[in-house]
Amino acid sequence: MRLIDWSSLDAAGRREALARPARRNDAQVTNGVRAIFEDVQARGGAAVTEWSLKLDGAAPRRIAITDQGVADARAALPPAATRALKIAAENVRIFHQATRPEDSDWVETRPGVRSRIAWRPLGSAGLYVPGGTAPLFSSLLMLAIPAEVAGVGRRVAVTPPSKDGRPHPAMIVAAAEAGLEDLWLIGGAQAIAALTFGATFDDGEIEPVAKLFGPGNAWVAEAKKQAAALPGGPAVDMPAGPSELLVIADRDADVVAAAADLLSQAEHDADAQVVLVSESRGLIDGVLEEIELQLETLPRADIARAALAEGRVIRVKTIAEACEVSNLYGPEHLAIQTLDADQWVPRINAAGAVFVGPFAAETLGDYAAGPSHVLPTDGAARTVGGITTASFMTSMSVQCVTAAGAAALAPVAAQLARMEGLEAHARAADLRSGQ
């Protein structure tokens, strides 16, 4: 990890210090995704199949979530695993049911003029669940359950196939817990293309979806970006690429816990980025030493080391300055491991999720606390939030006007319309004025 003294940097140096890994913006990725999209748009399912065989070694496959299939999947897992999945699913559902947007009360801005906000679920949603080197069944829960609570009409879940071409049993159980009817084994940019353009296969059809959701590697993130740029293309939830974690730690923080949290994100992907910010050189040295000790027994140490090569250790003068650094970076995950950690939360205005205090391990949020772990990356937390039930809904204003309300308001609207040179607008208002 690169050690940086924040106070010694000018504005350009600070921007460079907080830059994401350059390979996330690789032209090869951009051009490769464009080629896949053009092919799938032209040839549909046949193109998706060819790219899947070439990149993942397996053709797309639809897995029906049947009672027998779920029973077999449960039997293949230890009882503790199925219990953990059930508890996690319950917590995710409880949180999102409690935070589901409801229609607002009527607001009367003038006598006889009432308006409200009404919420409606999306007609369809494409849910991308990362697989690759590890089956992230937790992401399936974090996407499919909020979509279910929102009332989305059609949920299409896709995930890369495992090396043997079969779904992990936990993925089947998670799909059942989320109430899905099926699961498609397709990964990468070709899966996003299938959700964007639609694709027909021997065992079923994927129809185009209204909005794309889910995290992924640089290829998936680029595919979502290109899909959203298409005329009439699907909306996207947010930039949700390789994982990020920024840890603010003071001199009293637990170096073992801080190191463990940083490694928990570094092991995700070589493109992941972790950042440690502290006012204490002693804490910094202790965390770096502990990272090396923990790496010795980490199964995914090679991946973690690749990510750590893009990591940053930033020394600041105060924890208040550490909060400023975090806001400039806009991390996907932010862990505050300081004395009286909750006092610093009001200073944070750009983070996908904030984990407060020594016991709030980011891993708890990843799996079982309740809020979705699908969060904005690449600094997008400065302007957008993570997945909520509202992400799977749209809002619209509903306006009701009585004759008396129109008589009072129409002259105002007509006056303003004529000031803008829009006479037809003004005449439409005049018709309601009662004059």
C-alpha span between 236 and 239 (Å, rounded):
8
Q: For residue 282, how many other CB atoms are within 10 A of its CB? A: 10
Q: Of 168, 268, 333, 373, which is the active-site residue?
A: 333
C-alpha span between 143 and 128 (Å, rounded):
8
C-alpha span between 20 and 132 (Å, rounded):
22
Q: Of 332, 362, 420, 425, which is the active-site residue?
A: 332
Contacts of 138 (CB under 8 A, 6+ apart): 88, 174, 366, 367, 373
Contact by Cβ (8 Å): 207, 198: yes
Q: Does residue 373 carry a catalytic annotation?
A: no
What does the block give as tokens for 416? 């303003």
* Run of H or E including 74: helix 67-75
Angle at which helix 169-177 crosses helix 137-150, to 10 degrees, equals 10
Q: Does residue 205 carry a catalytic annotation?
A: no
C-alpha span between 164 and 305 (Å, rounded):
27
Tell me the Cα Rg of the chain.
25
C-alpha span between 259 and 266 (Å, rounded):
10
Give me the active site residues, please.
332-333
